[in-house]
A = this chain, B = another copy of it.
């Protein structure tokens, strides 16, 4: 492999694929980035065996070939190179790769190319296209509710479900749930049901660009590919059955408040300061168009009063402040509607004037109630 390129293109590509590099993995080669020089382009790829990222940039290739270089060293080196043309040449026998810049050069020992895990691009007829901004916003609004605990893998994923010209995304860690629906009129006959790892979707957010950039999604039995034209993000799918989320969303309410998202978020943050890290429980009490947020712990007390628009019965209940804060952060509207069906039933947060998004929070049962 021999090629010349500019620093910016190379650095950009390295920084993108590096997100799939697994530094903690016991398999050293997964700490590597694969370089492949083809006609006028160099392809970079990395994988942690669950997710893979592949991208390319233009280069003057004088000899095709490939090489696996340690991601940490190569990325740190390229970041620190002077703004000069860069010439890269690898020795196919030793795997050593020379990076030449000006009068200076670095020779980096690589991994054996044949040890790098196979990384095929998923191929399938099941494809659809979404605008980058729509997909990013949709993912952002649900992915936070996925579990991080690997014990029950289904809950670490996000359900992506299409049918009848609409697409739903849902995530839940069993304490909270987030659901988002969009129209998918162009794909009336697309019927898919996938569970995508939350970790992959957190990376997808970073490669989803503007409204003008379309993301092509290709689905196979056990993989999904997101392609924005420059970067390919490939992920395995999570097997198993996602719980029936429609069943847990209450259809009616006995109380509802409309409250400023920012005011409630700030009051929640302040109240949580006096709770213990492991148990950030805050109380909410609704009566007379006033919401009182309070905590009472060994460290002290907080009592916040917020004016709200109230319908239905007075009510009091308790929430995990972190979960409430997460839900408020993603709601995306100035005011939020919160619906309740009782002190021990879930609370439902909805943006005002948007019926296609909701966050559901289970209340916390307090000992003294």
Contact = CB atoms under 8 A, between A and B. Distances in A.
B270 A300 contact: no
Interface in A279-333: 298-305
Nearest to A77: B273
A341 interface: no
Contacts of A104: 267, 270, 302-305
Contacts of A299: 70, 73, 108-109
A300 B76 contact: no
Q: Chain A's interface: helix, strand, loop or mixed, by majority?
A: mixed
A5 interface: no
A80 B273 contact: yes
A300 B269 contact: no
A103 interface: yes
A11 interface: no
Interface string A47-73: 000000000000000000000001001
Nearest to A108: B300
A81 B274 CA distance: 14
Interface centre among A270, A301, A304 (most CB of B within 10 A): A270
A150 B96 CA distance: 43
Q: 6 tightest CB-CB pairs across the interface, nearest first?
A: A104-B304, A103-B305, A108-B300, A106-B302, A107-B301, A109-B300
A105 interface: yes
B266 A76 contact: no
A80 B266 contact: yes
Interface string A215-250: 000000000000000000000000000000000000
